[in-house]
Amino acid sequence: MEKELLERAYFASGCFWGTEHYFMKALGVEATAVGFMGGHIDRPTYGQVCTKTTGHFETVEVLFDPRYTSYEALVKFFFETHDFSQSNGQGPDIGPQYRSVIFYRNVEQKEMAEKYITLLKEIGYCVATALLPVSTFWKAEENHQQYYKRSGGEPYCHIYRKIF
């Protein structure tokens, strides 16, 4: 697949290792990268973000083939792979860098995310997920890329559960 035909989506849902682990397995996802978005310093390191002072969120960049999946399907998958009701972290990982965030690239992505946030609230869920415009995505150090694939481990703060 030629990269120019792929679309991008950005999701933060706690530890980026677990978020990437699930998105790597999703139908139509061609590539992922873990990094940081939303902060106030350029080229942050993992160590800097862990200080909770940079304003960044651990984020996964998802490159997907729209012939095989849709942004809507990825938004639903995002909500099904983490606890979107937790407001200051994910599972045992506590801190602002682990918050649940959907970063939208355009009006269509924003409206799709709003649609599912509203739907979840209507069926009784508490939704702490923030919705923010895309800013610069700073790729994390190489040792953080595809962490669980390389280590053979499993995410400790993410689990899939069918909602939609």
Cα separation, 137 vs 111, in Å, equals 21
Q: How many residues does the chain have?
A: 164
Tokens coding 27: 């139908």
Active site residue 15: yes
Cα separation, 151 vs 75, in Å, equals 27
Q: Give the number of C-alpha atoms closer than 13 A to the C-alpha of residue 144, restricted to the C-beta side.
A: 20
Please identify which of the residues 15, 50, 126, 157 carries the catalytic annotation.
15
Q: Which helix (H) or strand (E) holds 23?
A: helix 16-25
| C-beta of residue 134 within 8 angstroms of C-beta of residue 103 | yes
Write down the residue that tokens 């999703």 correspond to: 26
Catalytic residues: 15
